Structure 1
Amino acid sequence: MRGVLVLGMWLWGLAAVAAPRASLESRLETGDVVLHTSRSRQSQAIQAATHSLLSHVGLVEVTSKGVFVVEAVQPVQRIPFTKWKARGVKGHILVLRPRTLDAEKKQRALAAAKTHLGKPYDWHFGWGDEAMYCSELVRKAYIKGAGVEYGKMERLGSLDVSGLKQQMRERYGPQVPLDLELVTPASLARDDRFAVVHSDFPDAR
């Protein structure tokens, strides 16, 4: 009897080890917020200004045809999650999920984000709706769709832009608008109203 018990325990342990872990993609839900380190030209400046590796953010949509990310690049677009993830440095990603919102509110936030598809990227980080930057898209989607303001609006001058004078002049000209208010990917990531679903960044928050 003891031998049978030992054999059963061994087989159970073997099955547990052999069972594949659920893929990250299969764990995603519509409305999840995904962040990574972009390879874009401005990524290093964003990282320096915010003291964070997180320089790009998008919103997840799960459908019967696959998982997608709605993101503000040039232009605002919807792309497969696997392609979005691969664009990040080393494929590392942070996945956040609203702690208290139901599926309907998250779906409405996604729908709000999709109303901006095709719009140009906002290189000046303004707050108008004629163009969008990545964290603006996510914050506005949740404001309109769920009435929640994730992240914190910050003055450009409050960020660490002291070493970015050349980049600032190239973007804004001689008069850099230090009073400009914007929301950053790092600010969204720090919002504790999100739960961490997955992270390859030990110190991302």
Structure 2
Amino acid sequence: MRWSVLLAVWLGAHGAVAAPRGGLEETLRTGDIVLHTSRSRQSQFIQVATESPLSHVGMVEVTPEGTWVVEAVQPVQRVPFAKWKARGAKGRIMVLRPKELSDAQRQQAVAAAKAHLGKPYDLRFTWDDEAMYCSELVRKAYAQGAGVEYGKMERLGSLKLKGLEQPLRERYGKVPLDLELVTPASLAVDARLEMVYSDFPSVR
């Protein structure tokens, strides 16, 4: 018994034991796009503005050491998938997969996303590369890594802003209605992305 314990400790210390994958995690592939409902205060505003419960998005990376999600929060980071999923409201998740891209293209897109690790979260939803918000990271990663732009750019003023005037003024002062941005909801309805899994009722 003692030797088996010592062996397990040694293997764990040397990275020889891969993290187990089960259930939904077994179906994930590098480059999958995962969405959930964030529990942040900002999430409430995003849900109202987009009329969708999908308020946060990241990209999956599957490795021998486990499954990860690259996401733009504060700062852009790479976290274990199980931790990312647990952060979503009610544990609900949607998984989308590019229909016509190779494994290599999806890997290149994830590599492009990881190039932004450590950057601050962009609270103002601008389109420069100094800071990133979640759906911006996904769209840019696939554009840079695979030459495909998922989701669509929309004017802030085209979203459902009734009731959000005060928080928008607090953030911007004069609200930039012509600001162009991409939302998680826009990514979710892109027909070039296949739905692999969802436990969101009446979404898509």
Normalised by the size of structure 1, how large is the TM-score?
0.88
Give the CA deviation at 1:171: 0.8
What one-letter code is carried by the residue in structure 1 that aligns with 2:38?
S
* Counterparts of residues 5-20 of structure 1 (less than 5 Å): none
Q: Secondary structure at the match of 1:106?
A: helix
Identity of aligned residues (%): 72
Match for residue 181 of structure 2? 182
User: What SS class does the counterpart of residue 130 from structure 2 fall into?
Assistant: coil
AA in 2 matched with 1:185: P
Give CA-to-partner distance per residue, 1:149-197, whole Å, 9 cap, x none. 1000000000001210011011101x10000000000000000101111
2:11 is aligned to none
Q: Gaps spanning 5+ residues in structure 2: where?
A: 1-21
Aligned partner of 1:165 in structure 2 is 165
Residues in 2 aligned to 1:32 and 1:191: alpha-carbon distance in whole angstroms: 14
Q: Show structure 1 runs of 5+ residues with no match.
A: 1-21
Matching residue of 2:24: 24
Shift of 1:202: 2.3
State whether structure 2 residue 190 is matched by structure 1 residue 191.
yes
When the two chains are superposed, the root-mean-square deviation of aligned CA atoms in Å is: 0.7
Q: Does 2:89 correspond to 1:95? A: no
TM-score, normalised on structure 2? 0.89
| DSSP 3-state at the match of 2:35 | strand
Matched length? 183
Distance 1:148 1:178 in 2: 26
Which amino acid in structure 2 is aligned with residue 183 of structure 1?
A: V
In the other structure, the counterpart of 1:115 is 115
| d(CA) in 1 for partners of 2:133, 2:40 | 13
Aligned counterparts of 2:26 and 2:80: Cα–Cα separation in 1: 13
Report the Cα distance in structure 2 between the residues aligned to 1:77 and 1:132, rounded to whole angstroms.
Answer: 11
